[in-house]
A and B are shown apart, each in its own frame.
Chain A
Amino acid sequence: MSDDVAIVGIGMHPFGRHEGVTGMEQGAIAIRKACADAGIEWSDLQFAFGGSVAAGSPDHMVSQMGLTGLQFINVVNGCATGGSALISAYNTIKSGAFDIGLAIGFDKHERGAFRVSTGKAGERDWYGGSGMALTTQFFGMKINRYMEEYGISQDSLARVSSKAFRNGSLNENAWRRQAFTEEEVLQSQMLSYPLTQYMFCSPGEGGVALILARADQAHKYTDKPIFLKSAVVRSRRYGSFEVLAPSLALDYADGPTVDASKAAFEAAGVGPEDIDVAQLQDTESGAEIMHMAENGFCEHGEQEEMLARGDTEITGKLPVNTDGGCLANGEPVGASGLRQVYENVLQLRGDAGKRQVPNNPKVAYTHVYGAPGISGVTILST
């Protein structure tokens, strides 16, 4: 195991809806907090990777942060945009090119489901025009099929949502901080069968900044460096079942989550049994259930019992989405994967307050999945 990259500073602008504050301003606030956390100035940063899908080119931030001439590269990579900014920063430090730098992600999306336009210039957009091209439909179809195949109940879907909002109620940075009972989740409007309104996360706003440094210099900045053991992004292979696909192959292959997870565990030299806390993509509650298995934490179908036992609660065997996940935080795409890492750093530092996972967690896992069939995984350790 190599310990060559450390996270030495973290900052977050609360997720939610922030009238009158641009996505980029939320990113800038997150950066100032991260610099304060690491005890450095903006001018100490040698490079930055910035991710945003809908809130402008991140490198424009230099005009409000300071024109120091640093290397600033923009990253746009679907739902793995934030994760890709982090991986780029990680590899930059590993390569020896720089000693300290920034991964920043922020976003600001309109209300309601993501608007996906797939039309070619000069042609009518038949896909979205016909009432497909909604990410919510994919999630409905995938979990509907999965429930039938592996015996997952609708009560389990409700359990996941209820846990998310309960955890979100303990998180001052979360968007949705009101706890809902399983009954309330089940009774909310049916959006995409079998998923109801409170089983879905919403596109939202927010920003997260992470400062990375060479591990051998980490103690200059913090008493509690957290080491980035691996950071991996994978795209889909032929035969996988993906979001926004007008057709699928007859062949079947595992999705990019399975590939990214295996590669991340291998690079970190640990296995699923070593993970003390996990943040898994929960675009909707069914996704969290499927991703538990796709990331290697259980067999397909075992989730039903695990959820009934409370295994994924903060006090359970494998706490999942301790900050409320996407369900309670919403999904500003550029920042979402970095929020997961932010939460894991808090958990590993022992700074997660009311939602702290007990018994000093040492190894933590994050996973994002999204359009157009992409997944990012990180493994952190103390």
Chain B
Amino acid sequence: MGQVSINENVMDLTDEGPRLKGMHCKNCGNHVFPMQKGCPKCTSDDVEEVQLGTRGTLWAWTIQGFPPKAPPYLGETDPEKFKPYGVGYIELPGQLKVESRLTVSDPTALKNGMEMEIVGEIIGQDEDGNDLVTFAFAPVA
């Protein structure tokens, strides 16, 4: 039993951590996450899958203060055990802003513009007992 990506169509789990798979439009250069088959900016369908950047800056954030409903949530939903977590948009230079969990849940430790990088976070287990890993962004140390 090991660690597996929460969904291989949107995220590869490498030895260096999660890598997001996005759409790159060959016609206008636009990016979208996750991969899709048409570009919402220029309407072209001449698109390809690319790996998105792993570092960026925080653009907007909040703290999830109550357990989301399951389904669809795979994490802890027991109000007694639930721990708040950050959610934000990280601006990946030249690509897009990606929505992500944040490893920080203290509002005084988050500020728009701060440098962040992608890390893996175990969110639950699959049917075979493997850890399901999703992506999160953490402040660059």
Binding site for B on A (CB under 8 A): 112-113, 115-119, 123-134, 137, 140-142, 144-145, 148, 189-195, 238, 241, 245-251
Contact mask for chain B residues 10-42; partner A; CB cutoff 8 A; 1 contact, 0 none: 110000000000100000001111100000110
Contact mask for chain B residues 99-120; partner A; CB cutoff 8 A; 1 contact, 0 none: 1110000010000100000000
8 additional contacts, CB 8 Å, given A113-B66, A126-B11, A238-B40? A131-B87, A137-B87, A148-B112, A194-B107, A246-B99, A248-B99, A249-B30, A250-B91
Contact in complex: B6, A126 (CB < 8 Å): yes
Contact in complex: B6, A131 (CB < 8 Å): no
Cα distance, A189 to B22, chains bound together (Å): 36
The answer to whether B50 has its CB under 8 Å from any CB of chain A is no
Cα distance, A128 to B101, chains bound together (Å): 11
Across the interface, name the chain B residue whose C-beta is closest to A250.
Answer: B96
Q: Which residues of B contact A124 (CB under 8 A)?
A: 6-7, 132
Choose among B33, B59, B66, B71 the residue that contacts A246 (Cβ–Cβ < 8 A).
B33
A246-B74 contact given A123-B9, A145-B60, CB 8 Å threshold: no
Cα distance, A246 to B63, chains bound together (Å): 17
A247-B99 contact given A128-B68, A132-B87, A134-B68, CB 8 Å threshold: yes
> Top 5 A-B pairs ranked by shortest CB distance?
A128-B72, A140-B62, A247-B33, A126-B7, A193-B63
User: Could you show 20 A-B contacts with beta carbons less than 8 Å apart?
Assistant: A112-B69, A119-B72, A126-B6, A128-B73, A130-B134, A131-B75, A131-B85, A131-B101, A134-B68, A137-B64, A141-B60, A141-B89, A144-B61, A193-B62, A195-B62, A238-B40, A247-B22, A247-B99, A248-B99, A250-B94
Contact in complex: B63, A115 (CB < 8 Å): no
Cα distance, A245 to B36, chains bound together (Å): 13
Q: Which residues of A contact B63 (CB under 8 A)?
A: 140, 190, 192-193
Contact in complex: B41, A249 (CB < 8 Å): yes
A117-B71 contact given A130-B134, A141-B87, A247-B97, CB 8 Å threshold: yes
Choose among B7, B97, B134 the residue that contacts A250 (Cβ–Cβ < 8 A).
B97
A248-B97 contact given A132-B87, A141-B89, A193-B62, CB 8 Å threshold: yes
**Which secondary structure dominates where chain B touches chain A?**
strand
The answer to whether B51 has its CB under 8 Å from any CB of chain A is no
A123-B7 contact given A192-B65, A247-B33, CB 8 Å threshold: yes
Contact in complex: B71, A250 (CB < 8 Å): no
Q: Which residues of B contact A145 (CB under 8 A)?
A: 59-60, 112
Cα distance, A125 to B75, chains bound together (Å): 12
Q: Which residues of B contact A125 (CB under 8 A)?
A: 71-72
Among B41, B63, B71: residue with most chain A CB under 10 A: B63
A190-B65 contact given A117-B72, A126-B6, A247-B97, CB 8 Å threshold: yes
Choose among B41, B97, B123 the residue that contacts A129 (Cβ–Cβ < 8 A).
B123
Choose among A117, A119, A245 the residue that contacts B99 (Cβ–Cβ < 8 A).
A245
Contact in complex: A247, B96 (CB < 8 Å): yes
Q: Which residues of A contact B66 (CB under 8 A)?
A: 113, 189, 191
Among A131, A189, A241, A245: residue with most chain B CB under 10 A: A131
A248-B68 contact given A130-B74, A141-B62, CB 8 Å threshold: no
The answer to whether B47 has its CB under 8 Å from any CB of chain A is no
